[in-house]
Amino acid sequence: MQDAAQDADSRRVQKDGVMAGPVPFFSGSFSASASAVTDLMPGDVAVGNVGEQFKTLLGSCVSVILTDPKRTVGGMCHIVHVGAPNQENRHNTAYGVAAMHAMFTGLRARGIDPRQCQAYVYGGGNMFPQLFREQHVGASNVDWVSHYLDHHAIGVLHHDVGGNGYRKVSWTVGPQDPVVETIFQGKV
């Protein structure tokens, strides 16, 4: 996972004091067309308006999708690490705290109070089941996200976590639920 986080860091740009992925979520530059697709890599965060599509591929990482109850605005992040980042990485959105802060900031910039949002949570797979049977990175990631959302009183509409497979997650901001496809190791 370290390589994925380093790769994500190499593509990241500094924007208003927050590490942002390749699509700046503060700019208001999102179009409302259904053709806008953002592929999130590890550590990326995106916020968009109705009609915009977000996609990501998860293993042990966890993706959180937040949307307002009317489904007019939504965000997705791809969390790699859940421990407290050191000072140097405090804005690195590969870390859960920074990713959720960035997504909250992006939602607020669009007039949405994150505490009024609803969540979807995906990922947290055990990518090395032959080595780790009980506690593994994916389970730790899911536990952290669950506690974070509980702490902020954000309800989870649906989750698909754990197991030994990868997940392809796709969601278009709007009334439909995210589409999740589980792919077992060896078939990616």
Give, for all 188 residues of the chain, the pLDDT tens digit.
444 444 444 444 433 333 344 333 432 333 344 457 899 999 999 999 999 999 999 999 999 999 999 999 999 999 999 988 999 999 999 999 999 999 999 999 999 999 999 999 999 998 876 676 677 899 999 999 999 999 999 999 999 998 888 999 999 999 999 999 998 754 44
Spans of all domains in the chain: 2-19+31-184
Q: State the virtual CA torsion across 10, 11, 14, 19 in degrees, nearest 10.
A: -90
How would CATH label the architecture of 2-19+31-184? 2-Layer Sandwich (3.30)
For residue 8, give every residue at least 6 positions away whose Cβ sits within 8 Å of its Cβ, in sequence order, or none: 21, 41, 42, 43, 44, 80, 94
**Cα distance between residue 161 and residue 138, in whole Å:** 8
pTM for the model stands at 0.80
**Cα distance between residue 110 and residue 113, in whole Å:** 9
pLDDT at 123: 96
pLDDT at 131: 73
Alpha-helix runs per DSSP H in the chain = 2-11, 96-109, 137-151
**Cα distance between residue 35 and residue 18, in whole Å:** 27
